[in-house]
Structure 1
Amino acid sequence: MRTLHVVAHPEATHHVEKVVGGWHDSRLTPAGVRAAVSIARELRARIPGGAEVELFSSDLLRTLRTADEVAGLFGVEPMADRRLREKSYGEAGGKPQEWLDRRFVPPPPVGERMDHDEGVAGAETKGACARRVYAAMDEILERPCEHQIIVTHGGSLTFVVASWIRMPIESAGYASFRAPSGSITTLREDDFFHNRQVVGLGDTRHLESARTD
């Protein structure tokens, strides 16, 4: 039995400042740090003691800070991988969200969606983002580990899940698996049929303690 625990990092400064995230290297807010503690505790409660655990993270500050809380409870080192980053928004990164909203060109309902030009200089296409996340997931899943924790971003989480269920990349242009900040998504593969399940998407129940602490 293999279980993936996919964490969408909690509240970061770009959320409260209402600026574009992407590769803009924002940090967790104090509320985000408290949520990261709750995430780590929840994962520790879910994963049996003595189980083999690996921890992977996007290499941006907000995900690494989240991963550090998890690492402290499991006694493992996070493996940073830039391929698990959020989609890059090019020159829009760090600018006000309304700046991007005025310039953003949405993809067509049919036709070319994965390599669609969104109208922002230097922005990564959805296809480029998907291909690097899929490549990272291929390497993660080659490792025979019972419990793997992946700390990533809300947007790139879609491609983590799409890769897990072996959705062809060209079909992933229509996929959207929405998971709130600070949530845990649980993916599981059984040892008999080797079916891959999405057991829970975007669970935030553990964040109640962070709000009351």
Structure 2
Amino acid sequence: MTATSPPFPLPPIPGVVPARERTVSVVTHPEATHHVDGLVGGQFDSALTPRGEREAAAITAALGARIDASARVAVVASDLRRTRRTAEIVGEAWGIDPTLDPRLREISYGEAGGRPQSWLDARFVPPPAVGDRLRHHVGIAGAETRLDVAVRVYEAMTDLLAQDADELVVVTHGFTAGLVVAAWIGMPIEAAGHVAFPVPSGSITTLREDRFFHSRAVVTVGDVAHLRA
């Protein structure tokens, strides 16, 4: 008997579809033009660089080495160009078109988006160490708060986890990815003021739910071994 197998056969429950193990792979888009140009990303619609395209292929290969050929795969992404292109490259491996969801966009830095990073750095108001970090405003016109992002990401994850897929690939951004993980483990939004995970560009974070206990594990965070291969 294993930790994920019942000690005896369980009778079917009328009207309830038996649960099965599923995996969510949270991918952060690889190198984009705003990285190399020293510009603020956020919702500025930058594209992948040639290196980013190669890294997206490496991400796809890493996922392909893990995902069973018989698995039902779904790919969903932020609708910004850098994430959309990454998801297209991933989806090609399974012959599927990614679903685009603007709720998975990166945090918006308002009027700072697309400006030099130094412009934002000179005006940015950092959140306090204690207090209401969720509703803290960074001092840039049009910028989102952490709460703004959390609300849309949690809503997106509720919908995505209702999909009938064995393997769900979520292509998003660094800040947003942390809230995807927080939603996965059921962290209340009000507790997400400090949440952060080390997820560099081009990384894969692996989340898994077993089919017996329905426990949601965080298996790996911010893995970039495939970029060094």
Q: Give the TM-score of the pair, scaled to structure 2.
A: 0.90
Q: 1:175 and 2:195 equivalent? A: yes
**Pairwise CA distance, 1:208:** 1.8
**Pairwise CA distance, 1:143:** 1.5
Post-superposition Cα deviations, 1:24-83, rounded to whole Å, max 9, x if no partner, equal 000001100000011111111110102100000000000011011111101111000000
Larger helix share, 1 or 2: 1
Q: 1:124 and 2:155 equivalent? A: no
Q: 1:58 and 2:89 equivalent? A: no
Which one-letter code corresponds to 1:187 in the other structure?
L
Number of the residue aligned with 2:121? 101
- Determine the C-alpha separation between the residues in 2 that align with 1:15 and 1:114: 26
* Structure 1: 4+ residue segments shifted above 2 A: none
How many corresponding residue pairs? 209
Q: 1:144 and 2:129 equivalent? A: no
Number of the residue aligned with 2:24? 4
- Determine the C-alpha separation between the residues in 2 that align with 1:21 and 1:87: 9
1:182-201 maps to which residues of 2 (within 5 A)? 182-201=202-221
Per the alignment, in what secondary structure is the counterpart of residue 136 of structure 2? Answer: coil
Which one-letter code corresponds to 1:31 in the other structure?
R
Number of the residue aligned with 1:86? 106
Which one-letter code corresponds to 1:20 in the other structure?
V
**Pairwise CA distance, 1:158:** 0.5
User: Which structure has the greater CA radius of gyration?
Assistant: 2
Which one-letter code corresponds to 1:206 in the other structure?
H
- Determine the C-alpha separation between the residues in 1 that align with 2:70 and 2:179: 30
- Determine the C-alpha separation between the residues in 1 that align with 2:31 and 2:205: 17
- Determine the C-alpha separation between the residues in 1 that align with 2:159 and 2:165: 12
Per the alignment, in what secondary structure is the counterpart of residue 70 of structure 2? Answer: coil
Number of the residue aligned with 2:69? 49
Which one-letter code corresponds to 1:140 in the other structure?
L
Post-superposition Cα deviations, 1:106-145, rounded to whole Å, max 9, x if no partner, equal 1111111111111000001110011101100000011231
- Determine the C-alpha separation between the residues in 1 that align with 2:188 and 2:117: 31
Per the alignment, in what secondary structure is the counterpart of residue 207 of structure 2? Answer: strand
Per the alignment, in what secondary structure is the counterpart of residue 63 of structure 1? Answer: helix
Per the alignment, in what secondary structure is the counterpart of residue 27 of structure 2? Answer: strand
- Determine the C-alpha separation between the residues in 1 that align with 2:143 and 2:129: 20
Q: Give the TM-score of the pair, scaled to structure 1.
A: 0.97
**Gap runs ≥5 in structure 2:** 1-20
After alignment, is 9-18 or 110-119 more displaced? 110-119
Which one-letter code corresponds to 1:107 in the other structure?
P
**Gap runs ≥5 in structure 1:** none
